[in-house]
Amino acid sequence: MTTATKNIIHKLETLPENMVNEVEDFIDFLQAKHVKSFPELASEKINIIEEPKSLYGAAKGLFIIPKDFNAPLDFK
């Protein structure tokens, strides 16, 4: 066991239970984040859900803004 691991365990032992639960959630988050980025086994690649691609610019050409869009409106 490394020195860092021993220090983390010591610090965990002094935390209140609700904070230990937060640490556990954070560890789960880190593991999920890194499995998504760096799968170690080919079988892990199958379980990875890719994030949706950006839709920025997806509506290009679907509508046209009139040239007088910023012109003052006529009130009668």
Gyration radius (Cα) of the chain, Å = 26
**Dihedral angle computed from the Cα positions of residues 62, 68, 71 and 75, in that order, rounded to the nearest 10 degrees:** -90
**In contact, 15 and 23? CB cutoff 8 Å:** yes
pTM for the whole structure: 0.43
- pLDDT tens readout for residues 23-73: 888 888 888 887 765 555 555 555 666 666 777 877 888 888 889 999 998
Q: Within 13 Å of residue 3, how many CA atoms lie on the same side as its CB?
A: 0
Where are the chain's structural domains? Answer: 3-42
Among 51, 5, 50, CA closest to 27: 5
- Res 70: pLDDT: 92
Work out the pLDDT band at 3, boundaries 50, 70, 90: very high
What are the backbone angles phi and psi of residue 30, rounded to the nearest 5°? -60, -40
